[in-house]
C-alpha cells in the first residue's frame, strides 16, 4: 500500500521525469533503480510523517516541525545556488538565474530562521557530487529541486495551524513556483506543463532528497560547508 502511494506521489510531482532523470544520472544508475530506491526508502518516512498528524491533529508543535522541514529545503537550495555561482561555470541567462535565485533562497533561509527563532536548526553540510560543476548538471538538478520545492510547500501548507507560519510559507511558495517556471524555460521545458499542480508529501520529499546523498553531515559537525 505504501509503495504504490509513494509511486503515485512521485509521478504527480515529476510528470516529465526531470527529478528522477537528473538524480539518477548524477548517481550513475537507471531511472528504474532510482525509483525503486525512492519507493523503498519513502515507506518508513511516510509512515512516520503521517502518524503525528493523525494522533495529535494541528498544533504549534506540528507547525514548528513543518517550518523546520522547509528550512532544510531552503538550506539545500541556498547552498546549491551559492556553490554553482562560486564555481563560475555558468554564463549568460543561466548565470543570471543562479545569481538572482540564490539571493532569493538566502532570503527564504533568513525569513524561516527569524520565524522559528531559537528553534531554527543550523544548516547541514552538503556535497553536490558534480551537480554544480557544469551548466548541464546544474540545469537538470535545478529543475528537479525547484519542481520538488513547489510540490513540497503545496503539500505542507494545508497542515499549518498558525496564520503567521502559513503566511511565511505561502510567501515563499509563490516565489518557488516562479523559480520553477524560470529554470524550466531555460532548460527548454514547458514552464507550466499542466493546469493543476499536485502536492508532494513530506515523507516523499525527504526520501527523494535522501536518495541524492547531497546532505552529508548535520550542522553540528565540523566539515567544509561545500564539497561539490
pTM for the whole structure: 0.74
Q: Is 199 within a domain?
A: yes
User: What does the pLDDT look like over 28-85, one tens digit per residue?
Assistant: 555 555 555 444 444 433 333 333 433 344 588 999 999 999 999 999 999 999 999 9
pLDDT of residue 59: 86
- Residue 36's CATH number: 1.20.1260.10
Strands 215-217 and 125-126, by their bridges, are antiparallel
SS (H, E, C) 114-161: HHHHHHCCCCCEECCCCCCCCHHHHHHHHHHHHHHHHHHHHHHHHHCC
For residues 66 and 3, give the distance between their C-alpha atoms in angstroms, rounded to a whole number: 23
Tallying the residues shown for the chain, one arrives at 228
DSSP three-state, residue 3: helix
What are 177-228's pLDDT values in tens digits? Answer: 999 999 999 999 999 989 998 999 999 999 999 999 999 976 544 443 444 4
Q: Is residue 227 part of a domain?
A: no
**pLDDT per residue as tens digits for the range 136-149:** 999 999 999 999 99
Q: How many domains does the chain have?
A: 1
Q: Tell me the residue range of the domain where 148 lies.
A: 2-217
Q: Is residue 228 part of a domain?
A: no
Q: Is 185 inside a domain boundary?
A: yes
How many C-beta atoms surround the C-beta of residue 45 within 10 A?
Answer: 20
User: Where are any strands of DSSP class E within the chain?
Assistant: 125-126, 215-217
Domain membership of residue 225 (yes or no) is no
Structure confidence by residue, pLDDT tens digits, 101-118: 999 999 999 999 999 999
Amino acid at each position: 500500500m505504501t509503495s504504490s502511494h509513494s509511486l503515485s506521489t512521485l509521478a504527480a510531482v515529476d510528470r516529465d521525469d526531470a527529478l528522477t532523470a537528473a538524480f539518477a544520472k548524477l548517481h550513475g544508475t537507471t531511472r528504474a533503480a532510482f525509483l525503486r530506491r525512492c519507493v523503498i526508502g519513502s515507506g518508513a518516512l511516510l509512515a512516520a510523517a503521517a502518524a503525528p498528524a493523525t494522533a495529535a491533529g494541528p498544533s504549534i508543535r506540528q507547525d514548528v516541525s513543518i517550518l523546520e522541514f522547509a528550512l532544510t529545503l531552503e538550506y539545500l537550495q541556498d547552498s546549491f545556488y551559492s556553490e554553482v555561482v562560486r564555481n563560475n561555470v555558468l554564463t549568460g541567462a543561466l548565470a543570471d538565474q543562479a545569481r538572482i535565485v540564490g539571493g532569493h533562497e538566502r532570503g527564504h533561509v533568513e525569513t524561516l530562521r527569524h520565524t522559528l527563532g531559537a528553534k531554527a536548526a543550523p544548516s547541514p553540510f552538503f556535497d553536490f557530487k558534480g551537480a554544480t560543476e557544469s551548466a548541464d548538471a546544474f540545469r537538470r538538478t535545478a529543475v528537479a529541486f525547484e519542481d520538488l520545492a513547489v510540490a513540497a510547500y503545496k503539500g505542507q501548507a494545508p497542515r499549518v495551524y498558525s496564520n503567521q507560519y502559513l503566511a511565511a510559507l505561502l510567501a515563499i511558495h509563490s516565489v518557488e513556483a516562479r523559480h520553477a517556471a524560470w529554470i524550466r524555460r531555460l532548460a527548454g521545458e514547458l514552464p507550466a506543463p499542466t493546469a493543476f499542480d499536485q502536492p508532494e508529501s513530506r515523507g516523499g520529499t525527504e526520501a527523494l532528497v535522501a536518495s541524492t546523498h547531497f546532505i552529508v553531515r548535520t550542522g553540528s559537525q565540523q566539515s567544509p560547508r561545500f564539497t561539490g
